[in-house]
Homo-oligomer: A and B are copies of this chain.
Amino acid sequence: MPTITHLSVRDIRFPTSHTLDGSDAINRAPDYSATYVVLTTDAGDGIEGHGLTFTTGRGNELCVAAVQSLAPFVLDRRLTDIRADPGAFWMDLVSDGQLRWVGPEKGVIHLATAAIVNAVWDLLAKRAGLPLWKFLVELQPEEIVRAIPFRHISDALSPAEALEILRRGQDGRAAREAELRATGYPAYTTSSGWLGYPDGKLRQLARAGVAAGWTHFKLKVGANLDDDVRRAQILREEIGEDLALMVDANQAWDVDEAIRAMDALAPFRPVWIEEPTSPDDILGHARIAKALEPYGIGVATGEHCHNRVMFKQLFQARAIGYCQIDSCRLGGVNEVLAVLLLAAKFGVPVCPHAGGVGLCEYVQHLSMFDFVAVSGSVDGRIIEYVDHLHEHFVDPVRVRGGRYLVPEAPGYSITMKPESLARFAFPDGPAWTEASEGHGVPTAADVAGVGGVS
């Protein structure tokens, strides 16, 4: 009966803003970062649970602090108790009568919740000797239902409905698992289309992407419509008429502005417009979706959709054609399961948000579980792929010919190499102390004032 006896949390940051990798209309110079959690037990077997939440630099310190504030709710728990009622464990974590005021279930505190919850699932899967997707596939439908927080979504999905979907998902499971192992899971690339890249680099990366077997390409838009049109033209020229193109505005537009901009981008036949406006604007997304229906352009959102209640409404309002769950914006695996089941009920394909640091490693497990045990389909489904920072992981994703290969190592694939954790520790790791002597790491003081704080 191992008990969780220790939690450590680290502030890990990669100076990605130097190269404008990851730049878009809103996130102009992100330093991809992780609030990195390790859980240890008294089992004496050396098996640890690792989990992280992804951020873009400044603000990571707040998620680290929030993990510390939440630590008492995971420490001293027996793994058998968590296994027996994983939903109750999750609800405890988000229900403290004082801490929930600074959420509830959103922002800093919920990002921190995800790091802890994902570390717990990593620990459970590692102890079972299974990759997370397979660990979930092996759980009974009743066990999955027990892991799901139904609070505030029961008007759209009852436990009985979830159970029925999961029981249906048992049919043909073995065949789908075999298919997955044989062919992998479809992916798309965002690596060519960052907003900060000059036209020549966009063209060259798109060409390389086609050569590497990619079939779906995403372009960042939203800063300037003339630029967006020119860049969409370049991308369409390079990928030809048969491959797919998606656009992503990262919340840059107001509702009417989004509709006007997409009128201008429609000729390039994007499959979807991602994050056209505020992530909180369910009714706004619904209006945009209705306006773009004649073009056959779907609305996609999710990387900033902060909990299951928001996704519930996006489904109820028919506001999205693609559900882009984020593995650590939602409160970790338990809440992701809730959204996978909601998506299945409403018939909306799940296409997870990835990139950042560790998100590709995480979400491959979620999509594969969805395919094998929930939706049973890859139609209209595709996982984002971004080609950087994978070298820091012990079990990095493997992508071949535009498809994710099945992860085989036990756990959630999120364990980072000790040397990476040491090198990119913020602010004292060598990657930061050396950089700040060199080309000047941007700090809050660089972007704004330098007066005194106490």
Interface residues, chain A, with chain B CB atoms under 8 Å away: 4-9, 26-31, 55-63, 65-66, 68-69, 71-77, 92, 96-111, 151-155, 251, 254-257, 277-284, 287, 304, 306-307, 309-310, 312-313, 316-317, 444-445, 447-454
Q: Find chain B residues with CB under 8 A from A447 CB.
A: 72-73, 96
What residues of chain B lie closer than 8 Å to A31, measured between beta carbons?
A: 98
Number of this chain's copies in the complex = 2
Q: Which residues of the other chain, B, contact A255 by a CB distance below 8 angstroms?
A: 152, 154-155
Give bound CA distance, A143 to B7, whole Å: 51
In the complex, besides A4-B451, A63-B102, 18 extra interface pairs with C-beta distance below 8 angstroms are A5-B451, A6-B454, A7-B451, A8-B453, A8-B454, A29-B97, A55-B98, A62-B108, A71-B451, A72-B451, A75-B449, A75-B450, A76-B451, A105-B280, A106-B306, A152-B280, A283-B313, A284-B313
Contact A254 to B98, CB < 8 A, known contacts A283-B313, A313-B281 = no
* Sample of 19 A–B contacts (CB below 8 Å): A6-B453, A8-B454, A9-B453, A9-B454, A27-B97, A58-B69, A59-B101, A62-B109, A71-B451, A72-B450, A73-B449, A74-B449, A75-B453, A76-B449, A104-B279, A105-B280, A106-B280, A152-B284, A280-B307
What residues of chain B lie closer than 8 Å to A450, measured between beta carbons?
72, 75-76
**CB atoms of A106 and B106 under 8 A apart:** yes
Question: By the criterion CB–CB under 8 Å, are A61 and B69 in contact?
Answer: yes
Q: Which of B55, B254, B287 contacts A101 (CB 8 A)?
A: B55
Q: Are A77 and B26 in contact (CB under 8 A)?
A: no
Residues B106 and A287 in contact, CB atoms below 8 Å apart: no
Partner of A452, one of B7, B101, B105: B7
| CB–CB A451/B58 < 8 A | no
A254: nearest residue on chain B (CB-CB)? B154
Known: A283-B313, A452-B7. A30 touches B97 (CB 8 A): yes
B residues within 8 A CB of A153? 254
Asked whether A71 lies within 8 Å of B453 as measured between CB atoms, the reply is: yes
Nearest residue, chain B, Cβ from A449: B76
User: Which B residues lie within 8 Å of A77 (CB)?
Assistant: 449
Distance (Å) between the CB of A428 and the closest chain B CB?
15
Is the Cβ of B155 less than 8 Å from the Cβ of A102?
no
Q: In the complex, which residues of chain B have a beta carbon less than 8 angstroms from the beta carbon of A287? A: 155
Inside 8 A of A99's CB, which chain B residues have their CB? 58-59
Which B residues are CB-close (under 8 A) to A29?
97-98
B98 with A102: CB separation less than 8 A: no
Cα–Cα, bound, A74→B56 (Å): 21
Most chain-B Cβ atoms within 10 A of its Cβ — which of A62, A98, A452? A98
Q: Compute how far the CA of A63 lies from the CA of B103 in the bound complex, rounded to whole angstroms.
A: 11
A444 to B71, CA, bound (A): 9
Instruction: Report the nearest B residue to A257, measured CB to CB.
Output: B154
Quick one: closest B residue to A71, CB to CB? B453
Whether B62 pairs with A65 at a CB distance below 8 angstroms is: yes
Residues of B within 8 Å of A5, CB to CB, are 451-452
Give min CB distance, A209 to chain B, whole Å: 26
CA distance A62 to B97 in the complex (A): 15
Do the beta carbons of A448 and B102 come within 8 Å of each other? Answer: no
Min C-beta distance of A266 to chain B, whole Å: 20
- Chain B residues in 8 Å Cβ range of A280: 105-106, 152, 306-307, 309-310, 313
Q: Smallest distance from the beta carbon of A76 to chain B beta carbons, Å?
A: 3
Tell me the complex Cα distance, A416–B191, Å. Answer: 52
Would A278 and B107 count as touching, CB distance under 8 A? no
Q: Which of A29, A69, A155, A452 has the most CB of B within 10 A?
A: A155
Contacts A62-B66, A154-B256 given; does A283 touch B449 at CB 8 Å: no
With A111-B102, A254-B152, A449-B77 as contacts: A97 and B28 at CB distance below 8 Å: yes
A444 to B93, CA, bound (A): 12
Residues of B within 8 A of A4 (CB): 451
Asked whether A59 and B281 contact (CB < 8 A) given A97-B27, A107-B109, the answer is no
Question: Are B313 and A55 in touch, CB under 8 angstroms?
Answer: no
Most buried by B among A74, A107, A281, A447: A107
Whether the pair B256, A155 counts as a contact (CB closer than 8 A) is yes
Task: Name the one of B28, B58, B75 contacting A448, with C-beta atoms under 8 angstroms.
Answer: B75
Which residue among A60, A306, A313 has the maximum number of chain B CB atoms within 10 Å of its CB?
A: A313
